[in-house]
């Protein structure tokens, strides 16, 4: 299946990023092609202008140079909405850590090791808990996405979000990314609530699995190239599933995020909205998503008093 130029170079960006993260080397000879420093599409090595994004490519770089758009050639620089999500998660972790330290000091005991967060603090800040049902605190389905239990927990989730977020955002656009991230994260906790209604759970991993599911769902529209890319994405799922076997994680939230992401990735058109009504719809949904997140934290703050 032939891809439009815009989607082609976006897909090449995705493929290159995941190939790099999994240690897979590109089979295209380095002597004939190179990567555009702006859109990261593979172009002729001697081309002075990228035929896909139209930007000047500049001189040929040495083979050991750092890949543009990635920190130290490895970590993707987060895009707009991805950056906001990362900052929000880090901010909530900082607040919860500070509250944990204060609570431990007041009781005259040591704080949890490894940057651990006290369970009572997580409850106060909006963890997924039975109160969603017993006290109709639906906002916890949202706030739980931004809370983490310790340094390892937030480190793993933010590493995945920084790597996957820019890929989804570049493929679907910022407004769609905001909506998709929220919906898959909430659906993860909906399944978690059904599976374990009395359990306490926090973390962005449901939304992270949602991003993987979105990319897998979208790959079904791209023939052989999509099949190759999809096999790489399933490795992420396998690694996370193995991790879930040995550590106490909310596997139901993972499954809910992944499943909802698969459906949305397959059904939602890629790229920016093609028509004005479609653009208005997605803009409205994105604004609504932001308002839902903001309102959830306002409701959380009100119950703190």
C-alpha 178: how far from chain center = 10
Q: Report the alpha-carbon distance of residue 248 to residue 116 in Å, rounded.
A: 14
Q: Say yes or no to pLDDT of 95 above 50.
A: yes
Q: Say yes or no to pLDDT of 40 above 80.
A: no
Q: Which residues contact 228 (CB under 8 A, 6 or more apart)?
A: 15
Per-residue pLDDT tens digits for 60-89: 433 333 444 554 454 555 568 999 999 999
Q: Report the alpha-carbon distance of residue 85 to residue 77 in Å, rounded.
A: 13
CATH top-level class for 78-304? mainly alpha
Of the listed 153, 254, 260, 289, which one is catalytic?
Answer: 254
On average, the pLDDT of the chain sits at 82
Per-residue pLDDT tens digits for 188-234: 999 999 999 998 999 999 999 999 999 999 988 887 777 777 888 88
Q: Say yes or no to pLDDT of 157 above 70.
A: yes
Is-catalytic flag, 205? yes
Q: Say yes or no to pLDDT of 24 above 80.
A: no
**pLDDT for the residue numbered 237:** 86
Q: 226 and 3 in contact (C-beta within 8 Å)?
A: no
**pLDDT for the residue numbered 126:** 96
Q: Report the alpha-carbon distance of residue 276 to residue 291 in Å, rounded.
A: 22
Of the listed 82, 170, 205, 289, which one is catalytic?
Answer: 205
Question: For helices 5-21 and 151-172, what crossing angle results, to 10°?
Answer: 160
**pLDDT for the residue numbered 302:** 94
Selection from 24, 107, 35, 104 nearest residue 69 by Cα: 35
For the ranges 5-19, 73-87, 113-127, the maximum mean pLDDT occurs at 113-127
**pLDDT for the residue numbered 231:** 82
Q: Say yes or no to pLDDT of 26 above 70.
A: no
Rg (the chain; Cα; Å): 21
**pLDDT for the residue numbered 67:** 44
Span 147-173, mean pLDDT?
92
**What residue spans define the domains of the chain?**
5-75, 78-304
Question: pLDDT higher for 249 or 296?
Answer: 296
Q: Which residues contact 179 (CB under 8 A, 6 or more apart)?
A: 282, 285, 286, 289
Q: Say yes or no to pLDDT of 43 above 90.
A: no
Q: Say yes or no to pLDDT of 27 above 50.
A: no
Q: Report the alpha-carbon distance of residue 226 to residue 230 in Å, rounded.
A: 6
What percent of the chain has a predicted confidence (pLDDT) above 70? Answer: 77
Is-catalytic flag, 289? no
- The residue assigned the tokens 């407004």 is 175
Q: Report the alpha-carbon distance of residue 40 to residue 67 in Å, rounded.
A: 9
C-alpha 38: how far from chain center = 22
**pLDDT for the residue numbered 38:** 59
Both tokens assigned to 8 = 């082609």
Q: Say yes or no to pLDDT of 305 above 70.
A: no
Question: pLDDT higher for 25 or 142?
Answer: 142
């Amino acid at each position: 299946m032939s891809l439009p130029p815009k989607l082609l170079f976006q897909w090449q960006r995705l493929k290159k990023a995941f190939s790099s993260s999994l240690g897979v080397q590109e089979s295209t000879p380095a002597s004939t092609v190179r990567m555009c420093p702006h859109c990261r599409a593979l172009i002729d090595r001697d081309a002075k202008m990228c035929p896909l994004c139209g930007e000047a490519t500049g001189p040929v770089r040495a083979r050991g140079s750092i890949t543009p758009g990635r920190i130290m050639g490895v970590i993707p620089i987060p895009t707009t909405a991805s950056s906001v999500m990362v900052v929000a998660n880090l901010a909530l972790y900082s607040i919860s850590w500070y509250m944990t330290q204060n609570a431990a000091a007041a009781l005259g005991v040591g704080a949890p090791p490894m940057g651990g967060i006290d369970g009572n603090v997580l409850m106060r800040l909006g963890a997924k808990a039975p109160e969603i049902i017993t006290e109709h605190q639906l906002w916890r389905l949202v706030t739980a996405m931004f809370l983490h239990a310790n340094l390892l927990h937030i480190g793993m989730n933010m590493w995945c979000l920084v790597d996957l977020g820019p890929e989804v955002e570049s493929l679907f656009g910022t407004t769609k990314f905001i909506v998709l991230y929220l919906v898959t994260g909430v659906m993860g906790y909906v399944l978690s609530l059904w599976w374990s209604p009395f359990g306490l759970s926090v973390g962005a991993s449901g939304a992270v699995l949602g991003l993987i599911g979105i990319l897998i769902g979208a790959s079904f529209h791209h023939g052989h190239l999509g099949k190759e890319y999809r096999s790489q994405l399933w490795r992420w799922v396998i690694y996370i599933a193995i991790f879930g076997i040995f550590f106490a994680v909310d596997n139901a939230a993972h499954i809910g995020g992944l499943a909802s992401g698969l459906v949305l990735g397959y059904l939602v058109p890629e790229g920016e909205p093609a028509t004005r009504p479609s653009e208005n719809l997605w803009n409205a949904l994105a604004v609504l998503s932001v308002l839902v997140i903001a309102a959830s934290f306002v409701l959380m703050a009100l119950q703190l008093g």
